[in-house]
Amino acid sequence: MKLRWLGNSCIEIIGKRHFLIDPNYLTEPEKGVELVFVTHEHPDHFDIQKFKQLNTGLVAPYPILSMYNLEGKKAEVGKEFDGVKVLESWCLKSEESVSYFYEGLLHPGDSARFPEVSDVKLAFTACFPDFYEDYVNAFKRIKPELVVPIHYSEQKRYTAEGLKEKLQKERINCKILRVGEYIEI
């Protein structure tokens, strides 16, 4: 499976299926996205115009569907869509948020509290300095093979580097990607 960080919290998944999570990207995804997943309603995670350009299905928490009067499947903890499991999440100032887990890949949106999950090959994570300790503790608990910081601008790359330093001190493997860069798991 190939993964690509498209900027903000947008992740493109290309494997047996072609998915996009949090469609507010800085780099265009490849053609053929089959389904879009949204973690929560903040505008840095969901851009309605970019979503409409993709012309595909949607799985999102109710506030997204309601706010934009969209047809889609409601993301609820415990449900599964095309092999993607919906797990709990917590996002500051969000009405409703979820995490997604697919074939060893965990995307928790902005959350610094990670759901109970095992066999995590790769965990994406926000990298807000105020929550470094929370991230480190969560990763010590869920034991991902690799952590990839997301949700930062190039001007704030130091936040990803700061988290990487903390994770490496705990012997947690971390890789910082450039926007548009591919990684395989």
Task: Report domain extents, the chain.
Answer: 2-184
Three-state secondary structure string covering 68-108: CCCCCEECCCCCEECCEEEEECCCCCCCCCEEEEECCEEEC
CB 42 within 8 A of CB 24: no
Average pLDDT per 10 consecutive residues for the chain, totaling 185 residues: 96 97 97 96 91 96 95 97 95 88 96 92 96 96 97 94 98 97 94
Q: What is the pLDDT of residue 146?
A: 98
Closest listed residue to residue 56, CA positions, set 27, 17, 86:
17
The SS3 call for residue 14 is strand
Q: What is the pLDDT of residue 92?
A: 79
How far is the C-alpha of 141 from the C-alpha of 9, rounded, in Å?
23
* Environment class of 118 (CB within 10 Å of its CB; exposed 0-12, middle 13-18, buried 19+): exposed
Per CATH, the number for 2-184 is: 3.60.15.10
Global pTM reads 0.95
Q: What is the pLDDT of residue 108?
A: 95
pLDDT in tens, 110-128: 888 899 999 999 999 999 9
pLDDT in tens, 37-57: 999 888 889 999 999 999 999
